Structure 1
């Protein structure tokens, strides 16, 4: 019987038939050398089916071996949801608590409460204008919250600044969302990417996301460049490796 596998991402180095170990090691080294004092946003770019999730799964192993905490926020689980910022902080804080980072998790959970009665501004007209309205709305809500918003944010910044290693937050499959959902995710990143020792890793197809972010008079690529500080393009699968894998599968099938 043939042992053909389904199109699921791999999670162990032994399954790396594309020989991407050196590229993964280089990526992990680059992430570990970043200065996340004011946050950092990294893009892992590749076409649909190019192995972005597999690449990140293997990179996660190396990052965790180095002592870095890796968290996942799957936008598919919250696609189309209101209060995306609130849900984001609640999800991340819950994962931190499970990883025995209770103090940071509780502070982020408290911070998420600041957005609980804000609502998420829907898009009206050009999406860049919607982003401006969201930013203004966030500011107004925080100004009217009781208990000292600045003090709480300072506590969050202080706790994160004390970490020996940064926290890597992975957002994968962004390109599989609808256009409006893609825009929501990038609004979220833009509004929350300034915390110290937080490194966002966003995985997506550049063309798909640029098209989603583009509007009349504004280039999607220009907007991406304002958010992404480092981009990593997945290496193209070599002809030799692809031919070898196809031949091996055909030989097994004919046998």
Structure 2
């Protein structure tokens, strides 16, 4: 939904569209249907619409299209007033709720709109512009550009509500009185007000809760519609931190009309990626020759290493910028298509990227000539068998397909035709599968002993830690990393207790498979680090009970003696906190 632009260095940056005509994903029909639904759903008690989409999916561009269509629909039977509020610009101001209603008053005023000074954006707005505006609006009605007339008393009422919700105001009665006064004015007003609140997920956890409470409790006013745009996963994690792990339930109570932003067509995203990186540099043609075929067969590394992982414009920008940096430095030492493919794996599939770095000796084919081999080299047969075993142990079929597209010998070995495989490339021959060129592709890569952030996130938030096949070797490596306990505390802070329980169970299982010297120590470290991160929050006791419950379910107390120490430590803390209903592990 968004657009991309390049700065002077040639790198891309995310850039939402400025006009509906710039939409490249054919979402005008979606916008029209959504607006038609809004026009027909005038709830006298107010309405809250939530539009959810991951970062980079084009929520801001969608909002631009909605606002533009509202402002051009002059013939509608209803009169709409549009307000756009960007709360993250005021993050940590301590006045988010007050500034929200300031924004409503300002955007309804004759001078409302986008042309405002920096001081209006930094909290001085309510103290300078609005008082002057109220003094100037002496007429019964004032003309608002592009949308008709609006009562000055309504503007003043919103300004008054902003003052009443200011944190420095201790007069609760004033808030209730001003809100009731505003409700009466809105009941009599022919106008409907639509407030767009974008980038809600950029706020701090407590600010997310503050904004949602304001919309539901204070801003629940007649003929007002709030359209909130956010990443649902991010918002839910923020709410979990203050709602006892029940962020989803809380959000459902606030949002009356939940909508998911439609994903952009994959073809459109791929075309944009090609425009960013493929077309400008061109792609070499890699082929594999198999005996018995009368032609060379194209291997599409783009289709296996790039296209499956790029689904949003943010993905396009991440990959294109990483690739352009490498290409500027390495273009004389590598093949372009291989460089794009291996860069994509580093960005989106870091564990596979590391696996490739660690298996150079197996992946780089010993078959280098154009004529077929009869299989006379016994060492090559053993090589192929070892590689086949390693490939079959990979967790995903897509990983094997990616490797086959980059390393023809791997594909031939899996197919059982390794002795007949023979690769050839257009000049110059600098493919990643050639031993002498392999290392050039990893010149900018993270050290193979340093885990990628995405790997911690995958383990802690996504992986099925109760799967019978858990843990794999790559998961054990993540578990044993010295930064793992801290990452667990960061990613699980405010997370639902069910996920925390699964992580603790997974940790105890991993502990059974590592060296006896360390056995159990990592689980203890993870549990205490998670608890310390939640210390002082309302979730602390819930997390504590969750950890004790996980130990009670686990069979690790006998297999991992230090799990007993963890149980003792956790149960003592529960006892000290006065919690009696936790699982009893020890007599």
- Specify if TM > 0.5: yes
**Conservation of the 8 A alpha-carbon contact between 1:167 and 1:199:** yes
**Conservation of the 8 A alpha-carbon contact between 1:104 and 1:156:** yes
1:113-166 per-position Cα deviation (integer Å, ceiling 9, x unaligned): 3234656xxxxxxxxxxxxxxxxx8xxx333x4xx954x434312322233341
1:104 to 146, 151, 154: 154
**2:22 matches 1:15:** yes
What does residue 177 of structure 1 align with? 203
What is the total number of aligned residue pairs between the two structures? Answer: 229
Q: CA deviation at 1:95?
A: 1.9
**More moved, 222-231 vs 58-67:** 58-67
Query: Greater CA radius of gyration, 1 or 2?
Result: 2
* Higher-RCO chain (CA-CA 8 Å, sequence separation at least 6): 1
What does residue 196 of structure 1 align with? 222
Distance 1:234 1:16 in 2: 14
SS for the counterpart of 1:50 is coil
1:81-107 per-position Cα deviation (integer Å, ceiling 9, x unaligned): 224332322232122113533221111
**Conservation of the 8 A alpha-carbon contact between 1:71 and 1:92:** yes
What does residue 104 of structure 2 align with? 92
Q: CA deviation at 1:240?
A: 1.9
2:274 to 236, 247, 250: 247
What does residue 389 of structure 2 align with? none
TM-score normalised per structure 1: 0.80
TM-score normalised per structure 2: 0.36
Distance 1:217 1:84 in 2: 23
What does residue 163 of structure 2 align with? 113
**Conservation of the 8 A alpha-carbon contact between 1:36 and 1:166:** no
1:56-84 per-position Cα deviation (integer Å, ceiling 9, x unaligned): 10011112223421111211222112243
**Conservation of the 8 A alpha-carbon contact between 1:71 and 1:169:** yes
Task: Please report the RMSD computed on the Cα atoms of aligned residues, expressed in angstroms.
Answer: 2.5
**More moved, 50-59 vs 109-118:** 109-118
**Conservation of the 8 A alpha-carbon contact between 1:84 and 1:188:** no
User: Superposition pairs for residues 1-255 of structure 1, below 5 Å?
Assistant: 4=6, 6-66=13-73, 67-98=79-110, 100=144, 101=150, 102-116=152-166, 118=168, 141-143=171-173, 145=174, 150=177, 152-215=178-241, 217-250=244-277, 253-254=280-281
SS for the counterpart of 1:11 is coil
Which sections of structure 1, spanning at least 5 residues, go unmatched? Answer: 120-136
SS for the counterpart of 2:264 is coil
Q: CA deviation at 1:204?
A: 0.4
Distance 2:57 2:251 in 1: 20
Distance 1:87 1:59 in 2: 23
What does residue 310 of structure 2 align with? none
SS for the counterpart of 2:106 is helix
**Conservation of the 8 A alpha-carbon contact between 2:51 and 2:227:** yes
What does residue 129 of structure 1 align with? none
Distance 2:164 2:27 in 1: 42
Which sections of structure 2, spanning at least 5 residues, go unmatched? Answer: 7-11, 74-78, 113-143, 145-149, 283-587
Q: CA deviation at 1:196?
A: 0.7
**More moved, 206-215 vs 233-242:** 233-242
Distance 1:12 1:77 in 2: 22
Distance 2:63 2:70 in 1: 10
